[in-house]
Structure 1
Amino acid sequence: MKEKNTTNQDGTIRALSNRHVQMIAIGGTIGTGLFLGAGSTISKTGPSVMLVYLALGLFFFFMMRAIGEMFYSDPSQHTFVSFISRYLGPAVGHFTGWTYWIGLVFVCMAELTATATYVKFWFPNIPSWIVELIFLGVLAGVNLIAARLFGEAEFWFAMIKIIAIIALIVTGVFMMFSHSATPLGHASVGNIFHNYTLFPHGAFNFISAFPMVFFAFQGIEFVSITIGEAKNPHVIIKKAVNETLLRILLFYIGALIVIMGIIPWTSLSADSSPFVQVFKLAGFPAAAAVINFVVLTSAASSLNSCIFSAGRHFYQLATEVPKDSFMARNFAKISKSGVPAPAILLSAALVLITPIMSLTSATTSIFTIVTGVSSDMYIIVYTLAMLAHRKYRESNDYLPNGFKMPGYRFTSPLTIAFFLVIFISLFFIPEDIIGAIGAIIWTVGFGGVMYFHEKTAVSHEQAE
């Protein structure tokens, strides 16, 4: 018997099934960073890169357990930012909501730019802006029709990524166990640990790999944003969050072992996709075209999730302002199909700026800087989510028999400290310094404005 969709009080529909949410979780965990950027991180750190992925995977798992615990206590919320508003105060909540939403818009822009780049592999003469308009129009339409259609699109996008990784792992395992000959020698597990040293290119390169892998995992929290529209949230939260670490181990560590087993890490090109390099050595000449298709669907998947998430976050912001304000009147609305259509449309409209970006090199460099700042802001947002979770533990909402974060007394402060160390490490990496300084300026400037605005509002209320 088909499970019936239920409607939330605000009009949104719980239309996402378990398979949708599980695939969205996998899609959020696996980005283009694995397909394209893994070569760069391996060339910096050698086999030690697996320690970097393991450490970050563990702390992201702890963060997801903290967010999952709060959602388990109240699965009616659409975004984890609502818990920051509830437990750290409206000023911090507004700051985080606006910061996260602006960051999402820039991630959408970056992914939209990427789609045009990948399409040019086959159609070099098509102008980028045409490709960008088509992708944005189609995916915004998918998000406007129904949450279930978004979930279905994400299911198939994620399936393509999974098939590519499993194909790589199966091919690699076969080549390693049969000791297949390649122009670089023989495929073997021994290639991974041959002449192994912890810091082959120095401690600095090892440390600089942490922010690179951190940004590869960015977006892992997208799955939590689907909980408000999932059919059986309590069951789905546990399953989606608990399998985060397993997915990271299977897909990332599995792929890295295979890549370094076939191509000695000293011979791996930092500028080319390691997936393409492995498949070509396996005698698959069409590898570049196939992996280009995979990263195109990966970018489209990220763009699809970004539009979904940005719409929910702007809707959340609109519900937290006075009901007679322009923002609340126009954007705190749910369409007949059960989606926050005005908030989705506004977010997608802002992403339309992307086609204009290609007109001058000046806008491109400004865009690169702003994207860097917004990426660095995610570290601050994640830290605030962890602090909100600590306040939740002290509140009346706390469920002693709920979906509790394991080893909370140790894992919570350790995760917060780890995120702060990642942020501090940005100042030691030349290309990340501007973004880190920009993130601090934004936090102090915009955060200060939010704080004083809140204080003024409270003063007015007390005077009345």
Structure 2
Amino acid sequence: MSVQPTITEKEQPSTSDLPAGDGLKAGLKNRHLSMIAIGGVIGAGLFIGSGSGIAAAGPGILISYALVGVMVVLVMRMLGEMAAADPSSGSFSAYADRALGRWAGFSIGWLYWFFWVVVMAVEATAGAVILEGWVPAVPQWAWALIVMVVLTATNLASVGSYGEFEFWFAGIKVVAIAAFIVIGGLAVLGVLPGSDHEATGLTHLTAHGGFLPNGPGAILTGVLLVVFSFMGSEIVTLAAGESAQPQRAVAKATNSVIWRIAVFYLGSIFVVVTLLPWDDKAILEDGSYVAALNTIGIPHAGQIMNVIVLTAVLSCLNSGLYTASRMAFSLGRRGDAPQSFARTTARGVPRAAILASVAFGFLAVFFNYKWTDTVFAFLLNASGAVALFVWLVICCTQLRMRRIILRENPEKLIVRMWLFPYLTWATIAMITFVLAYMLTDHAARRQLVFSGLVAALVVAVALLRERRGSNRNDKDLRPQGR
């Protein structure tokens, strides 16, 4: 069967039309994609990392979350415009390949893959810590191994298995946060049945040094602490390529990202800072959500939150493996990775891409146990700023992809970026400012420097490959003498 090239991946046919063994399958149902879209924006970082943000910025952390939320909404709108026009397993990497050049697609694809395989190691270790606390007889390294093996087997079975696991993982997160907001809201008003928590209203927002107790600059410090907890919103655009109605799924996810961020991030953090004084030591010692549940009087709050965090960790690990493998698959299809990565089983699973991704994840877990403060610390710092690099590339890509789509397939522009190109340029300026501000913070500066060095190395490799390919083509076109 003859398949026409798409506007982003000339070598990759449409995933829904590929015969068995030649490509991915449309194995994700609408309910899977809906929950991936909702749960993808809720990472373990929201539960674990929010305490440090509150301690740094006070109630003003709400502004930090709002600023990053606006940035993510705009980036997702741009990505949604491109993904709805041409769903692809490579998502923004494939679009960058088309709009900015092969070097850009190669670079951002491999950086994104690197980011997620490191995240896999972090999440596997975090999950192992919780599980070892419940079953001390099994060592921590064994729990990390068990978790990764189980989720690898799930991803190897079929994309439907990944979708089903993620549906329930994300569902638990959504229900947990929704329940937290409702229960916490009732406690703030002093009307929670069975609780003697006094109504605090909005007093904690201003009663302890004001809304910005550490000054306006703390808002930007808060931005640096919370920005990376939003990474994962873009996963639905990769997953859409393996659904029966990818355009509809992308459009729906893009349009709903505003309320998802408003409810799950701003809503839950608002409950925390109204229930507790921002300078309560329990926020850092126990975690912001556990501290909030304890002050309400919820029994076994710590264990309840451990179950929720474990679910978030497993969800992130599951999605990390899926995302890394699909990016590797796309790179393989475009000739930017080993060709074996582009081969799929009869079930439409890119087995080699999955195994290569999880192998690096296992290696990173080993580094975490063997050389935590050296090799693994470097991996963490080297992947720390990749999220911002990805968002910046999405913005730059969309500037050019809009013209390409209008020229080649204008009828596919069913999702449009608002106020194009002004909001696109404004978002580029916002991301650039955050990257520049990272230089003023010691921990963030290390992440930016190491991530920048790795990015520069990957770009150099991409440009070298492109130059060699160009030289080879020139040689092939040169007249041959007898």
- What TM-score, normalized to structure 1? 0.92
Could you tell me which runs of 5 or more consecutive residues in structure 2 were left unpaired when the two chains were aligned: 1-14, 477-482
Partner of 1:291 in structure 2?
305
Task: Please give the per-residue CA displacement for 1:64-105, whole angstroms capped at 9, x wherever unaligned.
Answer: 111111111112444321111111111111111111111111
| Residue pair 1:73, 1:397 contacting (<8 A) in 2 also | no
Partner of 1:214 in structure 2?
227
Picking from 363, 378, 384, the partner of 1:375 is 384
Most deviating of 239-248 and 347-356: 347-356
- The answer to whether the aligner puts 1:300 opposite 2:300 as a matched pair is no
1 CA distance for matches of 2:286 and 2:409?
48
2 CA distance for matches of 1:117 and 1:414?
41
| Alpha-carbon offset, residue 391 of structure 1 | 0.9
Q: What secondary structure is seen at the aligned counterpart in 1 of 2:284? A: coil
Question: What amino acid does structure 2 have at the position aligned with 1:368?
Answer: A
Task: Please give the per-residue CA displacement for 1:266-312, whole angstroms capped at 9, x wherever unaligned.
Answer: 32522322221122222222110110011011111000001101111
| Alpha-carbon offset, residue 445 of structure 1 | 2.8
Picking from 161, 164, 189, the partner of 1:152 is 164
Q: What secondary structure is seen at the aligned counterpart in 1 of 2:165? A: helix
Partner of 1:399 in structure 2?
410
Picking from 328, 351, 355, the partner of 1:345 is 355
| Residue pair 1:20, 1:154 contacting (<8 A) in 2 also | yes
Distance change (3 Å), C-alpha of 1:57 and 1:398: farther
Partner of 1:241 in structure 2?
254
2 CA distance for matches of 1:310 and 1:202?
40
Partner of 2:445 in structure 1?
433
- 1:177-196 matches, within 5 Å, as 177-178=189-190, 186-194=199-207
Question: What amino acid does structure 2 have at the position aligned with 1:104?
Answer: W
| Residue pair 1:146, 1:337 contacting (<8 A) in 2 also | yes
Question: What amino acid does structure 2 have at the position aligned with 1:150?
Answer: Y
Question: What amino acid does structure 2 have at the position aligned with 1:448?
Answer: A
Task: Please give the per-residue CA displacement for 1:226-252, whole angstroms capped at 9, x wherever unaligned.
Answer: 110122112111111111111110111
Task: Please give the per-residue CA displacement for 1:177-209, whole angstroms capped at 9, x wherever unaligned.
Answer: 226799996432332233564531134432111
| Residue pair 1:370, 1:435 contacting (<8 A) in 2 also | no
Partner of 1:81 in structure 2?
93
Partner of 2:113 in structure 1?
101
1 CA distance for matches of 2:301 and 2:190?
21
Question: What amino acid does structure 2 have at the position aligned with 1:444?
Answer: A
Picking from 366, 386, 396, the partner of 2:395 is 386
Q: What secondary structure is seen at the aligned counterpart in 2 of 1:265? A: coil
Picking from 111, 123, 142, the partner of 2:123 is 111
Question: What amino acid does structure 1 have at the position aligned with 2:151?
Answer: L
| Alpha-carbon offset, residue 7 of structure 1 | 4.7
Most deviating of 284-293 and 188-197: 188-197
Q: What secondary structure is seen at the aligned counterpart in 2 of 1:173? A: helix
Distance change (3 Å), C-alpha of 1:41 and 1:335: same
Partner of 2:12 in structure 1?
none
Q: What secondary structure is seen at the aligned counterpart in 2 of 1:267? A: coil
Most deviating of 47-56 and 295-304: 47-56
| Alpha-carbon offset, residue 126 of structure 1 | 2.2
| Residue pair 1:47, 1:196 contacting (<8 A) in 2 also | no
Could you tell me which runs of 5 or more consecutive residues in structure 1 were left unpaired when the two chains were aligned: none
Picking from 185, 207, 212, the partner of 1:199 is 212
| Residue pair 2:187, 2:198 contacting (<8 A) in 1 also | no
| Alpha-carbon offset, residue 321 of structure 1 | 1.5
What CA RMSD, in Å, does the superposition of the two structures yield over aligned residues?
Answer: 2.2
| Residue pair 1:357, 1:364 contacting (<8 A) in 2 also | no
Most deviating of 88-97 and 187-196: 187-196
| Alpha-carbon offset, residue 410 of structure 1 | 1.5
Question: What amino acid does structure 2 have at the position aligned with 1:133?
Answer: L
| Alpha-carbon offset, residue 406 of structure 1 | 1.1
| Alpha-carbon offset, residue 125 of structure 1 | 4.0
1 CA distance for matches of 2:279 and 2:328?
46
Picking from 43, 46, 65, the partner of 2:77 is 65
| Residue pair 1:91, 1:451 contacting (<8 A) in 2 also | yes
| Residue pair 1:112, 1:135 contacting (<8 A) in 2 also | yes
Picking from 313, 317, 325, the partner of 1:311 is 325
Distance change (3 Å), C-alpha of 1:347 and 1:137: same
Question: What amino acid does structure 1 have at the position aligned with 2:300?
Answer: A
Count of aligned pairs:
455
2 CA distance for matches of 1:176 and 1:377?
38
| Alpha-carbon offset, residue 446 of structure 1 | 2.6
Task: Please give the per-residue CA displacement for 1:164-186, whole angstroms capped at 9, x wherever unaligned.
Answer: 11221111121122267999964
1 CA distance for matches of 2:461 and 2:251?
37
What is the percent sequence identity of the aligned residues? 29
- The answer to whether the aligner puts 1:424 opposite 2:436 as a matched pair is yes
Task: Please give the per-residue CA displacement for 1:358-393, whole angstroms capped at 9, x wherever unaligned.
Answer: 543x34432122212212122112211211111112
Question: What amino acid does structure 1 have at the position aligned with 2:259?
Answer: L
| Residue pair 1:16, 1:147 contacting (<8 A) in 2 also | yes
2 CA distance for matches of 1:219 and 1:76?
16
Q: What secondary structure is seen at the aligned counterpart in 1 of 2:385? A: helix
Distance change (3 Å), C-alpha of 1:202 and 1:134: same
Question: What amino acid does structure 1 have at the position aligned with 2:344?
Answer: I
2 CA distance for matches of 1:363 and 1:280?
32
Picking from 252, 268, 277, the partner of 1:264 is 277
Q: What secondary structure is seen at the aligned counterpart in 2 of 1:404? A: coil
| Alpha-carbon offset, residue 22 of structure 1 | 1.6
| Alpha-carbon offset, residue 56 of structure 1 | 1.0
| Residue pair 1:79, 1:312 contacting (<8 A) in 2 also | no
Task: Please give the per-residue CA displacement for 1:45-71, whole angstroms capped at 9, x wherever unaligned.
Answer: 122111111111111111111111111
| Alpha-carbon offset, residue 458 of structure 1 | 0.7
2 CA distance for matches of 1:446 and 1:76?
22
| Residue pair 2:41, 2:232 contacting (<8 A) in 1 also | yes
Question: What amino acid does structure 1 have at the position aligned with 2:429?
Answer: A
Task: Please give the per-residue CA displacement for 1:106-151, whole angstroms capped at 9, x wherever unaligned.
Answer: 1111111111112122123421121011111110111111111111
2 CA distance for matches of 1:433 and 1:76?
34
- The answer to whether the aligner puts 1:129 opposite 2:147 as a matched pair is no
2 CA distance for matches of 1:97 and 1:292?
33
